[in-house]
Amino acid sequence: MSEVQTQITCLCDEVFPVHYDDELDIAQEENRKKILEGQYLSFSCPACRKAVKIEPRVRLYDGNDCWEVFPETERDHFLAGGLEISRDLHRVVFGYKEMAEKVRILGDRMDDRPLEILKFTFLEKQGWPEGVSLTYHEIRDGKIFFYIEGLKENEVGVTAVPQPFYERIQGQLGSPPPEWADVLSGPYVSVQKLGSQ
């Protein structure tokens, strides 16, 4: 791990020093818990005591796999081909929300590819509604649960998919249908790529 020291500014205009690890081993339960509970990259302002969250570039490791986490604001730049990435990356993710989702997926020993295709299928059936997103939450009692944001203002919905649908998609990944190509290509495996086109 390497520690970064920097100054951040709170909404109350207080400027204060913080330090954080820009490389995190997510094979360690303690590090996964920090991310999932929103503690990683979150700092308490010494003046107003409110939480200040930052989104710098960081790397996550799990054995031989490596994920680069970029700020949410860099997704479009990446999709336009303007963001160079290292060839040793297993995955690229954008923003804290995607980072936490991938950590949850890894913790549940799931494969993110069929999960993204399940999202693709849901959004396609809904006619690709603007501003709607799905986030993997958990697998329980033979069902895979997703949170849905954007269908109704200020509300989060839940949908459950039977696990056999996931397994069927997983079995097709060796020769996937052409309509899945954009979602599955490259180190950024995400249905979000389609929403940005």
Q: What is the mean pLDDT of the chain?
A: 92
Among 107, 125, 141, give the residue marking a domain's end: 107
Q: Are residues 63 and 116 in the same domain?
A: no
Percent of the chain with pLDDT over 70: 98
Distance CA 3, CA 144 (A): 36
- Secondary structure (3-state) at 49: coil
Please give the order of strands across the beta sheet that includes 65-70: 23-25, 58-62, 65-70, 91-94
Q: Are residues 16 and 84 in the same domain?
A: yes
Give the residue ranges of DSSP H helices in 12-162: 29-36, 75-79, 95-107, 112-125
Q: Are residues 140 and 93 in the same domain?
A: no
Query: Mind listing the pLDDT tens digit for each residue in 22-81?
Result: 999 999 999 999 999 999 999 999 999 999 999 999 999 988 888 899 999 999 999 888
φ, ψ dihedrals at 94, nearest 5°: -125, 120
* b/e sequence 96-116, b meaning 16+ C-beta within 10 Å: bebbbbbbbbbbeebebbbbb
Q: Are residues 65 and 148 in the same domain?
A: no
Among 66, 83, 107, give the residue marking a domain's end: 107
Q: Are residues 169 and 94 in the same domain?
A: no
Is residue 133 within a helix (H) or strand (E), and if so which, with residue range?
strand 133-140
Distance CA 146, CA 28 (A): 25
Print the domain residue range for 96.
3-107
Q: Are residues 101 and 8 in the same domain?
A: yes
Q: Are residues 102 and 124 in the same domain?
A: no
The number of distinct structural domains making up the chain is 2
The pLDDT value recorded for residue 90 is 84
Query: Mind listing the pLDDT tens digit for each residue in 124-144?
Result: 998 888 889 999 999 999 999
